[in-house]
Amino acid sequence: MRTIRLIARLDVKAPNLIKGIHLEGLRVIGDPNMFARRYYDQGADELLYMDVVASLYDRNSLLDIVERTTQEVFVPMTVGGGVRSVEDAGKLLASGADKVSLNTAAIKRPVLISEIARRFGSQAVVLSIEAKRQTSGRWEAFTDNGRERTGLDAVEWAKRGAELGAGELLITSVDQEGTRKGFDIPLMKAVTDVVSIPVIASGGMGQISHAVDVVNNGHADAIAIADMLHYDRATINSIRRGLLDAGISVRLDTRAA
Amino acid sequence: MAPQPKVTVVQYGMGNVLSVCRALEHCGAQVELTTDPAAVAAAERLVLPGVGAFGDCMAALAGRRLIDPIREFVATGRPFLGICVGMQILMDASEEFGDHAGLGFIPGRVRQIETHSSTGAARKIPHIGWTSIEPASRKHAWARSPLSAVDPGTPFYFVHSFTAAPSDSTDLLACADYAGAEVVAAVQRDNITGMQFHPEKSGPAGLAVMGAFLS
């Protein structure tokens, strides 16, 4: 049985942790390092930092946050937003990130996925896809926090990304994100059906049953949680217990609070 | 108060050295990160991280003239910890991208994790994620190793496509079941400990194991 990972997602507009709805209407939540530490203490399996304004080079704010987090958080960290080259990826990895996530730059130049995978290994490359439901019943990949169309079919792009060497996929439903109405299960299932790499489901978790649903019916390997954690409507541990009660395998570390 | 433990981490361009150093510091160690062969040979405790391909790691060590100092250090009997590929290169050789010689501290080879289960189902490679580790056949070894800080069955964070295969089972310290494939989680011989998982990324359990290595 696969062990489902619980990932705390921190969207950052430096220097703040922020949260929006449909990836927009961003509200300031607080200090990202403080929240990162809190989720680590709660037993998060991983952390995911996403810089919503891709400010990798604006006073290196994201790098600063990552470096500080490395001093007190000892679980894997994925960092994305503004990664445009192998050098960008190298900088983040040297600052303590374990994986980088790519979106816009990979859409503009898909071979970037292969370049980073060749240099640092597939396990270090997460392809992030913002998917928006279309009237056709399919999903289109978007960039810039769900604002810019790409013309790419999200599921086809996911498959292509895996072939190019991505080690993991982060699938964010723009429609569900921030709504607390549950994950886009058909989207997750459509993606997990066509790739063999792990898929992280993101966007829409409002209650623990949503997580159970996306694991059992969307076949997600990992769940990214933001809203529920930021607004203290659940802890990593209460979510973990809910999944366990539903018969889903999660990491159990007796040392976590 | 006990003196602050000192530990030297080998910097040779392969691996997430920053995270390893931060975790050791968190455990109370005074950490020296070095590329200097003399500092490696003279270390009180030595940690060898490693990420990437086996052959690249060996070439990087050779290129920095670090192989002989590591041998010298190991011969002193002082505590040595290899992490991830830093554990794999303790073996004689690896089949990753051709045939590459290792340091040969622990007899055996490094081979790919089987890509298919006994029933023919495809197994996801690399093995990435949290997997619980169990003592290998020689159960008393656990209690005398840094793993004594945690209970058998504790999950650790793994990222690897290849696994060590010690030819002498007494060198086996811990194993993990990855989707039906047995992977070697830790090896130990005399003063040498190797961990396939990343203790520096394994949360409180990983820190407990690193703390035990320092004590």
Among A47-51, B51-55, B154-158, whose mean pLDDT is lowest? B51-55
Percentage of chain A beyond pLDDT 70 is 95
- Length reported for chain B: 215
* pLDDT, position B184: 97
SS3 B146: helix
Nearest residue, CB atoms, B205 vs list A121, A197, A255:
A255
Q: Do B130 and A196 touch (CB under 8 A)?
A: no
Active site residue A148: no
Q: Measuring CA to CA, how many Å separate B120 from each of A66, A162, B114, B115, B180?
A: 41, 22, 10, 9, 11
Nearest residue, CB atoms, A76 vs list B26, B201, B205:
B201
How many Å apart are CA B133 and CA B149, to the nearest integer? 13
* pLDDT, position A256: 45
- Give A208-220 pLDDT, tens digit per residue: 999 999 999 999 9
Mean per-residue pLDDT of chain A? 92
Percentage of chain B beyond pLDDT 90 is 79
Distance from CA of A236 to the nearest CA of B (A): 14
How many Å apart are CA B61 and CA B55, to the nearest integer? 10
* pLDDT, position A257: 40
* pLDDT, position B125: 81
Q: What does the H/E/C string look like for A33-91?
A: HHHHHHHHHHCCCEEEEEECCCCCCCCCHHHHHHHHHHCCCCCCEEEECCCCCHHHHHH
Q: Give the dihedral of Cα atoms B17, B23, B24, B28; nearest 10 deg.
A: 150
How many Å apart are CA A20 and CA A36, to the nearest integer? 18
Name chain A contacts of B18, Cβ cutoff 8 Å. Answer: 70, 94-96
In this predicted structure, the answer to whether residue A253 has a pLDDT above a threshold of 80 is no
* pLDDT, position A187: 98
Residues B70, B48: contact at Cβ < 8 Å? Answer: yes
* pLDDT, position A2: 80
Name chain A contacts of B201, Cβ cutoff 8 Å. Answer: 74-76, 98
Which residues face A224 on adjacent strands?
A7, A202
| Mean pLDDT within B74-103 | 94
Nearest to A101 by CA among A72, A129, A139, A67: A129
pLDDT band per the 50, 70, 90 thresholds, residue A56:
low
Percentage of chain A beyond pLDDT 90 is 77
Active site residue A11: yes
Nearest to B162 by CA among B107, B87, B106, B101: B87
In this predicted structure, the answer to whether residue A154 has a pLDDT above a threshold of 70 is yes
Q: Give the distance from CA A231 to its chain's centroid.
A: 18
pTM, rounded to two decimals = 0.92
How many Å apart are CA A101 and CA A121, to the nearest integer? 13
* pLDDT, position B1: 60
pLDDT band per the 50, 70, 90 thresholds, residue B138:
confident
Q: Which residues contact A203 (CB under 8 A, 6 or more apart)?
A: A172, A173, A174, A175, A176, A177, A178, A183, A184, A224
* pLDDT, position A57: 56
Going by DSSP bridges, is the β-strand pair B192-195/B162-166 parallel, antiparallel, or unpaired?
Answer: unpaired
Among A117-121, A140-144, B64-68, whose mean pLDDT is lowest? A117-121
* Residue that the structure tokens 């194991």 belong to: B209
Task: Tell me which chain B residue has its CA closest to the CA of residue A37.
Answer: B203
Q: What does the H/E/C string look like for chain A?
A: CCCEEEEEEEEEECCEEEEEECCEEEEEEECHHHHHHHHHHHCCCEEEEEECCCCCCCCCHHHHHHHHHHCCCCCCEEEECCCCCHHHHHHHHHCCCCEEEECHHHHHCCHHHHHHHHHHCHHHEEEEEEEEECCCCCEEEEECCCCEEEEEEHHHHHHHHHHHCCCEEEEEECCCCCCCCCCCHHHHHHHHHHCCCCEEEECCCCCHHHHHHHHHCCCCCEEEECHHHHCCCCCHHHHHHHHHHCCCCECCCCCCC
